Amino acid sequence: MAKDNHAIENDYTPLAYDPQYILMVNRLKKYFPIKGGMISKTVGYVKAVDGVSFNLRRGTTMGLVGESGCGKTTLGRTVLRLSGGKSGGEVLFNGQEIYDLSAREMRAMRTKMQIIFQDPFSSLSPRLPVGEIIGEAVREHNLVPRNEFNDYIDRVMDNCGLQPFHKDRYPHEFSGGQRQRICIARALALNPEFVVCDEPVSALDVSIQAQIINLLRELQERYKLTYLFISHDLSVVEHISDSVGVMYLGSLVEYGTTDDIFARPLHPYTAALFSAIPIPDPDAKMKRIILRGSIPSPANPPLGCKFHTRCERCMEKCRYAAPDWIEVEPGHFCACHLYNDAAADARAEEAVSAARASGAVPEAETEVL
Ligand SMILES: Nc1ncnc2c1ncn2[C@@H]1O[C@H](COP(=O)(O)OP(=O)(O)OP(=O)(O)O)[C@@H](O)[C@H]1O
Ligand code: SF4
Ligand SMILES: [Mg+2]
């Protein structure tokens, strides 16, 4: 029987709030409709975030890594409710499902959840002086009394390494690193608890990157901030993160503490990704795993394990059955049939039989290039 591509499954067990976590994400989905035909009907979906689950401890940093287009930005924006509606699952912020909030309640919640983008220039209005840029939302939300406003902005600028007497200057008068400091100051001025940092240093010179990373760490310490830190740069992620999530084609394939993930990557995709990190010791030997083929389209992900078309260790069941998300070691999660327990293996066998009975035809493995 042909699969109905237009119905979005929304299967999840609602979470019980655990106060140690500022953010609890449960089977979250964000699908973008693909329109086609004369009357612009939905003919499919780009499954940018496809059933992602993780819990983020208060005051910690979670790194999020994966190839370009795997859904990192969409995940960051969806947990902040910046991408319209979600397509499934839950996002609990301090125990509150943010998608249940009214527009007014969400507006108030916005101060608690902020985002810093990769390109500081395009996210700053060129027509406003930086004092206004930093203070605009503070004023809008009435966060400080009117007579304390100027002092408050000076203090925020100072905390972010900006000279308060520069507040009448415009963004183009600052360097790239200073502009990112302005973006950080703008986010911080709202006194947030949680900040999504989407590639915050990727557009900066290497010499400036460390300064901005150090600033983010100092601010985290001082204000007990929680970060979701998205980056291509695995060395930066290792440096700044307490935990790491590895994303592939809209799904998390592995999640654990930074130490566990870097010392013992479990998932074959993580192993391949991490094998490309340059090692400073010239005597150390590390086998680079070359990923075969290209990343499939999130509009038509492979059946079974989404990574099976590129995996060196692909087994027959991988081509038909999606692996379960299993806690392989305490706090170290992975979705791969190599780590199945007996129950997961039985579920996989059942899924293989059902898929075969339905006539499903999985993608062949990609030719070795
Ligand atoms: N508004 C949108 N409408 C349709 N598709 C979108 C939209 N935003 C993102 N996508 C698609 O969703 C997928 C995930 O994109 P996303 O930008 O989240 O990836 P990413 O991991 O952040 O990539 P990069 O590392 O290049 O920033 C991509 O296939 C992208 O084309
Ligand atoms: S489930 Fe199979 S194809 Fe997927 S990563 Fe594991 S071994 Fe590779
Ligand atoms: Mg991105």
CB 323 within 8 A of CB 310: no
Q: How far apart are CA 326 and CA 344, in angstroms?
A: 8
pTM here? 0.93
Measured in Å, residue 121 CA sits from the centre of ligand 3 at 16
Taking a 5 Å cut-off on Cβ, the residues next to ion ligand 3 are 73
Residue with tokens 């006194």: 191
pLDDT in tens, 61-89: 999 999 999 999 999 999 999 999 999 99
According to DSSP, the β-strands at 251-257 and 332-334 are antiparallel
Q: How many angstroms is it from 2 CA to the middle of ligand 1?
A: 27
Summarised one tens digit per residue, pLDDT across range 201-252 is 998 998 899 999 999 999 999 999 999 999 989 999 999 999 999 999 999 9
How big is the chain, counted in residues? Answer: 369
- Burial call 69-104: b when 16+ CB within 10 Å, e when fewer: ebbbbbbbbbbbbebeebbbbbbbbbeebbeeeeee
> Whose atoms come closest to the Cα of 324: which ligand?
2
**Which ligand 2 atom is nearest residue 317's CA?**
2
> Cα–Cα distance between 7 and 138 in angstroms, integer?
42
8 Å CB contact between 70 and 249: yes
Cα 40 → chain centroid: 31
| 72 CB within 6 A, ligand 1 | yes
Nearest CA to ligand 1 atom 1: 32
Residue 57, H or E segment: strand 41-57
